[in-house]
Amino acid sequence: MNYKQLKMFLLLSVLTLFSCNLSQSVVAKPLLQQNLQTTPSLVQSQPNASNLATPLSYKIETYNSQVMGGSRTYGVSLPPGYQQNPKRSYPVIFLLHGGHGDPTAWFAENKGQAVKTLQELYTTGKLPPSIIITPDGNDKRGSSPYRDPEYIDGPNGKVSTAVGNELVKVIQSRYRTLQNPDFWAIGGLSSGGWGAVNVGLHNLNNFSILFSHSGYFEDKSGPTNSPLFYIKTIPLQAQKKLRIYLDSGKSDTEEIKEAEKFSQVLDKLKIYHSFREFPGSHTWKYWREHLADSLTFVGEQFRLSEIKIGRKQ
CATH of the domain at 279: 3.40.50.1820
Tally of structural domains, the chain:
1
* CA within 13 Å, CB half, 259: 27
Answer whether residue 119 is part of any domain: yes
Contact assessment for residue 274 and residue 299, using Cβ atoms and an 8 Å cutoff: no
Could you tell me the pTM of the whole model? 0.86
Cβ-count burial of 72 within 10 angstroms (0-12 exposed, 13-18 middle, 19+ buried)?
Answer: buried
Answer whether residue 125 is part of any domain: yes
CA–CA dist 92, 76 (Å, integer): 10
CA–CA dist 227, 277 (Å, integer): 20
Contact assessment for residue 291 and residue 260, using Cβ atoms and an 8 Å cutoff: no
Q: By residue range, what is the domain housing residue 259?
A: 49-312
Q: pLDDT value at position 53?
A: 62
Q: pLDDT value at position 224?
A: 98
Answer whether residue 32 is part of any domain: no
DSSP line for 201-223: HT-TTT-SEEEEES--S--TT-G
DSSP line for 46-96: S--HHHHTSPP--EEEEEEETTTTEEEEEEEEPPTTTTT-TT--B-EEEEE
CA–CA dist 186, 299 (Å, integer): 13
Answer whether residue 34 is part of any domain: no
> Which residues of the chain are modeled with pLDDT < 50?
2-7, 9-40
What number of other Cβ atoms are within 10 A of residue 119's Cβ?
A: 15
Answer whether residue 109 is part of any domain: yes
Q: pLDDT value at position 309?
A: 87
Contact assessment for residue 213 and residue 179, using Cβ atoms and an 8 Å cutoff: no
Residue 39's nearest CA partner among 86, 91, 90, 88 is: 88
Q: Identity (one letter) of the amino acid at 33?
A: Q
Summarize pLDDT for 205-258 with one digit per residue, the tens.
999 999 999 999 999 999 999 999 999 999 999 999 999 999 999 999 999 999
Answer whether residue 159 is part of any domain: yes
Q: pLDDT value at position 46?
A: 72
Q: pLDDT value at position 55?
A: 84
User: Element (H or E) spanning 135, and its range?
Assistant: strand 131-135
